[in-house]
Every structure is written in structure tokens, then in C-alpha cells.
Amino acid sequence: MKTIQNLDDFLDFAWVQISRGKADKKSPARHPTFITSSTDYPNARTLVMRQCDRENDQIEFHTDTESYKMLSLRENSHAGIHIWLPKVNLQIQMNVDVDVKNGDITIPYWNNVPASSRIAYGTIPLPGTVIKNPFDYEYTPDQKRFAVLICHIQTIQLLLLGHKHIRAKFKKETNWQGEWLSP
Ligand SMILES: Cc1cc2nc3c(=O)[nH]c(=O)nc-3n(C[C@H](O)[C@H](O)[C@H](O)COP(=O)(O)O)c2cc1C
């Protein structure tokens, strides 16, 4: 088990794990759960982490403009990110404010999306539409249906399981000074 000396050490450890989501395709941090909540029930789904940037407190995801999460984000741009890293016994929970980019501004991002991945943006009929048979849809990759979700991290909460658990919360508004929490 990782020995945590102090709060800064704990946050550094978490960021090393978050960064592996971008660098290491096998890391569970590659596939965070992204939670939106509008007037309806909260909705959680797995997304691929496309970028993470500690300097700017950002995590980036890509999605289809016509997916339900976009509707949900239009109603409430506050979202959650959850990551569980079983090898290091660490749970990471984040509150994020999501900046949705779509239209021409996403062209530079789209140019970097491999052709094999572009099929995820532009399905007909629209994602979530009821269809008669499982393959009654077509992939029609379309840059206009491509959205970039820039998640501005506001809080990070960490729980490290061990003989005695360790829990802490860090807030951007206090320049990421942490506080220990009872687990
Ligand atoms: C491993 C995995 C990775 C996924 N990555 C993405 C992704 O990067 N972007 C995306 O929009 N959906 C991704 N999905 C699909 C979403 O989980 C979800 O089914 C889809 O986006 C529709 O969600 P919504 O209806 O809540 O908007 C992924 C699913 C899995 C299982």
C-alpha cells in the first residue's frame, strides 16, 4: 500500500493515477464514469478520457452532440467524474463544470480523431432511439455531431483503502489545499 505522508503527497499520488488514464490504455483511469444530473434521475456512463491537464485542472471527453448527456448538460453543466483504481485501492471523485464545444471550434480536435473512432459521432438514427433490431442503425461519421467536453475540475475527493483508510478533499477555490476527512 502506498504510504501517504501529507495532503500534498496524496493529491500528487492521485494525479499520477489520473494521468495514467491518458498514457496507459490499460489503466482503469482511462475509462472514468461521467455523471450528469438534470431534472430527471442522475445518469452515469463510461467515457474514454481523451486528455488530462493538471496545470489547468481539466479533463477532456468526446461525445455525440445528439447523445442524452448533452441534453442533460444543457440543463445543468455541473457533472461528476468517478474513477476506481483497484490495483492501488484508490477511489477518485471529482465535481466538474463542463464547457461544451461543438461546431467549427472542434475541427482541430476532429482532425486528431482516428477514422476508426469517428464512427462514434453521427450514428443514424440518433443515439438512444428505439430500433426494431439490434443492427438497425448506420455509422455516418460527422464532424457536426462531434462534441468536446472540457471538464473544469472544482473538487477532488480521494479515498485510499488500507488497514486504516485515508480520505481527503481538495478544492480549487482554496488553491487545492486539502483537508482530511473521516472515512
Ligand atoms: C469502455 C467504454 C468507453 C466509452 N467511451 C465513450 C466515449 O468516449 N464517448 C461517448 O460519448 N460514449 C462512450 N461510451 C458509451 C457511453 O458509455 C454511453 O453509452 C453513450 O455515450 C450514451 O450515453 P448517454 O445516452 O448517457 O449520453 C463508452 C462506453 C464504454 C463501455
Tell me, in angstroms, the distance from the centre of ligand 1 to residue 178's CA: 32
Q: 170: pLDDT confidence band, cut at 50, 70 and 90?
A: very high
pLDDT value at residue 173? 97
Write the DSSP symbol of residue 2. Answer: P
Structural domains of the chain ordered from first start: 7-181 (2.30.110.10)
Percentage of the chain modeled with pLDDT above 70: 99
Count CA atoms closer than 13 A to 171's CA, side-chain side: 4
Tell me, in angstroms, the distance from the centre of ligand 1 to residue 63's CA: 7
User: Among candidates 13, 31, 151, 147, which has minimal Cα distance to 84?
Assistant: 31
Instruction: Point out which residues pair with 60 in neighbouring strands.
Output: 51, 150
Tell me which of 45, 48, 50, 66 to substitute to probe ligand 1's pocket, judged by most ligand atoms within 8 Å of the beta carbon.
45
Backbone angles phi and psi of 77, in degrees to 5: -85, 0
Q: What mean pLDDT is reported for the chain?
A: 96
pLDDT value at residue 81? 98
**145 is written with which cell numbers?**
455531431
The alpha-helical segments, DSSP class H, found in 24-171 are 68-75, 107-110, 115-118
Smallest CA separation from ligand 1 atom 18, residue: 45
Whether the CA torsion 142, 80, 18, 100 is positive or negative: it is positive
With a Cβ cut-off of 6 Å, ligand 1 is lined by 31, 43, 45-48, 61-64, 67-69, 127-128
Smallest CA separation from ligand 1 atom 14, residue: 47
Smallest CA separation from ligand 1 atom 3, residue: 47
pLDDT value at residue 129? 97
